[in-house]
Amino acid sequence: MSAVQNFPLQKAEIVPANVTRTRILIGLTLLTVVLVALGLAMALIYAPTEAAQGDVQRIFYIHLSAFAGAFIAFSATVVGAAMYLRTRKVKWDTLALAGVEVGMALALINLVTGMIWARPIWNTWWTWDPRLTSEAIMILTYAAYLMLRNGVENPDQRRRFASVYGILAMTTVIAVLVITRIRPDTIHPVVIGPSPQNTEGGFEMTQRIGSTIGINSTIWSIFVPITLIWWRIRLENLAEGVRAVKMQVLSQQER
């Protein structure tokens, strides 16, 4: 008996996507594109030039907002992982996987834009500052999540291991958030709230700077991750359908 026949098989088919949901997703995607363009226009045109840093400070609006989106995506992974451990329903594991992939993409945007900002401000692309180091560890931690999924063949075992790992990995995200507020040796600026470097709390902002930060953060923490995660879930569901059909065909050939 072949390895294919060791797994219980059911009649497989690729189920077409719900038409109403597809229209909603397309509408949401178009809205997200428009909102991201609006946020970029505010960052490049509406927000005034920062007095000390100049035009390079404008990248900060995307830098901060991308991490906000990554935080939401990684939080979705925690929700999906916890619900999978509770219910053993595959849809929750799919949500967890989508959250990791989208979160990593947004975290990389945050890291790269930070490096672009650091070059003229700190005169270096990279320094082993506690904030930068913790974010690099966070990204590598989630990269290991994807490696774990690819390294376990049994689907149920893979989902269980990945769920536990996905919940524990959230500690690295929290570390990135709080490290600038507890480490006095970091040179990474804290814009909002007090820090060891600025006990009075953040920086003074004009109304236009504050509104640009707020609007971009809202767009990138709500519309961007939700849209990308939804598309990734649809792609994974389609891939699962293709794999199921392939397994069925291989099983019939073995017989």
* CA dist list (Å): 151 to 15, 105, 157, 229: 28, 21, 11, 23
Residue 217 sits in which domain range? 17-254
| Helix, coil or strand: residue 197 | coil
The answer to whether residue 6 sits within a structural domain is no
Mean pLDDT, consecutive 10-residue segments, the chain of 255 residues?
44 61 95 97 91 86 95 98 96 96 97 92 88 94 95 92 97 92 76 54 72 94 97 90 78 72
Let me know: does 173 contact 204? Beta carbons within 8 Å.
no
Predicted pLDDT of residue 68: 95
* CA dist list (Å): 97 to 70, 145, 166, 201: 13, 9, 9, 36
The answer to whether residue 69 sits within a structural domain is yes
Side-chain half-sphere exposure of 60, counting CA atoms within 13 A: 22
Let me know: does 132 contact 114? Beta carbons within 8 Å.
yes
CATH number at residue 24: 1.20.120
The answer to whether residue 10 sits within a structural domain is no
- Tokens standing for residue 3: 């390895």
Contacts of 50 (CB under 8 A, 6+ apart): 57, 58, 209
The answer to whether residue 44 sits within a structural domain is yes
